[in-house]
Amino acid sequence: MISFVFLISSFTFFMLVFAAVFHTVFHRQIAIDQRVDMYLGGQAVPEKKIKKQWKLESPTLKRYWNLGINQVNKKANSKSQRKLAMMLRDAGYSKLTPAEFRLFQLLLSTGLGFATFILFAPISDKPIFSWMMSLTMAYLGYRILLFQLAKKKTLRVKQINKDMADFFDMVNLLLEAGVGLEGAISNVCAKTKGPLTEEFKYTLEDMKRGKSRREAFHELKLRVPSDSFQSVIMSIIQADHLGVGMARVIKNLTTRIREQRREAAREQAMKAPVKMLIPMVMFIFPSLFIVILGPLLVKLVTEGLG
């Protein structure tokens, strides 16, 4: 009964902590959404009520959050910060700063370690066991976000490689119809979704801010950790610099992308027998040997060779 009460109380505590953290991070967007709902949702309220809602948002949590970020920035190594920034960029979280990510890691690690200690301390006879479990969960809580970044990067690169051929096919059709490159990319981005579309939307926004096409595409190449995509973007940059017809270049690039996908599929098909060998030897072959040779061994044991 005591452990159940500890479980409920710890779960409620950490839910409130995470809710407070996320509210601190996204409080500005929440406030904007509330004001939009009040004015555009047909529920206009007086200005006094609006000011009261703004006063309900206490700046205490925001102050502590900024204080934590400042402490992380002071104690963090610049090299590790740059490496973490590259990992966030490759995973698609370019708007999240390394200090914020480190602070999330510390909060999750501390929360899991504390929750594990609260759950295991009342039911464990040995205190060392509770401390070991708490330290293990704290370490896992610190590392799990890095594992999530690596997984997100792999899935993102895989999705970009999958969407490239169709995306550039549609861009090529619009170019042949007489649309400019920026207009073609904008039209395709309006009709499609995915990480590739998001990256091109960000590139178009960079060009609207005043960057040249070459600079915007060069930054796009750096943001996406895919060798085939970087090769395609480099070809587009060179074609734009040399003044080559963009429709013909993108058509040839699309053909090359599809050939690369076919070669990658053949490579994966050739690796399949090697990957199947280990489960066959460990799980399938022993079962077959038991079924086939089992009756013979039983007969030899019971009747002998005669």
Which of 104-108, 193-197, 218-222 has the least mean pLDDT?
104-108
**Using N-to-C axis directions, what is the helix angle for 78-91 and 98-120, rounded to 10°?**
90
Alpha-carbon distance 220 to 104, whole Å?
Answer: 27
Q: How many domains does the chain have?
A: 2
* 101 falls within a domain: no
Quote the radius of gyration of the chain (alpha carbons, Å).
Answer: 29
d(CA 227, CA 161): 9
Quote the tokens at residue 210. Answer: 């005043």
% residues pLDDT > 90 (the chain): 6
Residue pair 81/98 in contact (Cβ under 8 Å)? The answer is yes
Residue 187: inside a domain, yes or no?
yes
3-class secondary structure, 147:
helix
Q: Judge whether residue 186 has pLDDT over 70.
A: yes
| 3 state DSSP class of 27 | helix
Question: Do 184 and 175 meet the contact criterion of CB atoms below 8 Å apart?
Answer: yes
Average pLDDT over residues 236-252: 86
Domain finish residue from 246, 261, 276: 261
pTM of the model: 0.64
- pLDDT at position 58, please? 54
**Whole-angstrom distance between the N-terminal and C-terminal Cα of the chain?**
66
How do residues 113-153 score in pLDDT, each as one tens digit? 888 888 877 777 777 877 888 888 888 888 888 888 888 88
| C-beta of residue 174 within 8 angstroms of C-beta of residue 183 | yes
Residue 189 confidence class, pLDDT cut points 50, 70, 90: very high
Quickly state the pLDDT bin for 1 (edges 50, 70, 90): very low
What is the per-residue pLDDT across 28-85, written as a single tens digit (0 to 9) for each?
555 665 565 555 544 443 443 333 433 334 566 666 667 777 777 777 777 777 888 8
Residue 168 lies in a domain: yes
Q: Is the pLDDT of residue 199 over 80?
A: yes
- The reply to whether 191 falls in a domain is yes
In degrees and rounded to multiples of 5, residue 288 shows phi and psi of: -65, -40
Residue 210 lies in a domain: yes
Is 233 inside a domain boundary? yes
Structure tokens at 242: 């040399």
What CATH number did the domain enclosing 190 receive?
Answer: 1.20.81
| 152 part of a folded domain | no
DSSP for 169-206, written as a single string:
HHHHHHHHTT--HHHHHHHHHHH--SHHHHHHHHHHHH
> What is the pLDDT at residue 130?
79
Please list, in sequence order, all residues whose beta carbon lies within 8 angstroms of the beta carbon of residue 10, skipping any fewer than 6 positions away. Answer: 114, 115, 118, 119
Instruction: Give a yes or no: residue 90 inside a domain.
Output: no
pLDDT at 56: 36
87, pLDDT greater than 50: yes
Q: Of the given ranges (60-74, 103-117, 172-186), which has the lowest mean pLDDT?
A: 60-74
Q: Which domain holds residue 20?
A: 1-57
